[in-house]
Amino acid sequence: MVIDKFLQARVENLKGEFGKAFGDKDEIRVFNAPGRVNIIGEHTDYNGGYVLPVAINLSLLAAAKKRNDRKVYLESLNFDKRVVASLDKLKYEEEKDWGNYPLSVAWVLEKEGVELCGADIMFEGNIPVASGLSSSAAIEVLAMKCFLELSDQVIEKERIPILCRKAENEFIGVKSGIMDQYIITFGKKNNALFLNCKTLEHELVPFYNIKDIVIVVGNTKVKRSLAKSVYNERAAECNEGLKILKGFIKRENIENLSDIRKEEFEKIKNHLPPIIAKRCEHVIFENERVKQAVDSLTKGDMDRLGRLMIQSHNSLKELYEVSCKELDIMVGAFLESDGVYGARMTGAGFGGCAVALIKREAQEGIIKKASKEYEEKTGTKGEFYITSISDGIRKL
């Protein structure tokens, strides 16, 4: 497999550090999992709706080696703490910090009857942590790949994101959707993934004009945590809204908010408490925006796609209320420049990153201008990444 020089250098460094930490670097297996940017479709995944993410070249690496016992030793070049656990006594422990994510997938695999061996695993990544680029889902999918390969176990590819989501929901305690794990598993270079999060039907949507555009990510440097927080609160609000709406809509097969049509919602939204109505309106209209975005991408209509991204951000800000001052400034800083089709927050919100769809020829000037404006208005120097659309999880 051909990999670029930068990734190769990361791999060689990781192997060297693995040898120092564990005393042996023979028979090491190395895997790569991408981060992700969601073009549009935010907070629709756990509401059974549509999403349109891409895998990006910011990634996590894992070097892994089989052990002959049931012990798991985890290290990361991004964190100081070594995590040690037994496969026979897996449970969430706050002091294990980042290590709970890889341990969560070992836990779910064992619960599913997949017998695992012990492992030494070292991680390294250039996905900014807690930035909305899905480092948590990347480490889940990456760890699952490690455990399965080291244990000579095979499961259907479609089960990987399902089980990773179960691990995050039940072991970590975050009521997340399945989008992140799905794009990290099924991503393909130069393609977006149009995913129905209810049925898990999906199709690749090519960026036919990828040579003319670039996806730029602006990191606000505002960290946010999802676990047992506002993320779960929004999921509960959506469930409350769904319960009320189902009492007024007399048709079958309404299982999620995304099953409700715009025209149905408009007729009965006044029966909802104001806050719940705002949450439901975002989800239902965002779901429609995703379908329009796929049509735009298929036709190469970047202007329309950009407008949909802007509408999405405004809805997340005003209706779902998951943006923040810094995200709004970052999005606004992008939109000040000619050559920007659209921009929006990406990820769960309350910090993290914004994504902008930009004309390739104008990228340097746009980033320079946005960086200056963001720092002037916030006092914080943001980070900007020019990303490329990459493949999903793979063995190197």
Q: Which active-site residues does the annotation give?
A: 180
Reported in sequence order, the residue ranges of the chain that DSSP labels E, i.e. its strands, are 29-40, 50-66, 71-76, 79-86, 119-125, 191-196, 202-206, 213-219, 340-346, 353-359, 383-387, 394-395
Sign of the C-alpha dihedral computed for residues 172, 174, 179 and 184 taken in this order: negative
Radius of gyration of the chain (CA): 21
Secondary element (H or E) of residue 228? none
Q: Can you tell me whether residue 24 is helix, strand or coil?
A: coil
Residue with tokens 């149009």: 194
Q: How far apart are CA 306 and CA 357, in angstroms?
A: 7
Q: How far apart are CA 394 and CA 57, in angstroms?
A: 12
Residue with tokens 């420049």: 337
- The letter for the amino acid at 333 is A
Judge whether 92 and 64 are in contact, CB under 8 Å.
no
User: 256-263: long-range contacts at Cβ-Cβ below 8 A with a sequence spacing of 24 or more?
Assistant: 256/47, 256/48, 256/49, 256/198, 257/47, 257/48, 257/49, 257/283, 257/284, 258/44, 258/47, 258/48, 258/49, 258/50, 258/197, 258/198, 258/283, 258/284, 258/287, 259/48, 259/198, 260/284, 262/288
Q: How is residue 17 written in tokens?
A: 């550090």
Judge whether 297 and 274 are in contact, CB under 8 Å.
no
Phi first, then psi, for residue 67 (nearest 5°) are -110, 160
Judge whether 332 and 378 are in contact, CB under 8 Å.
no
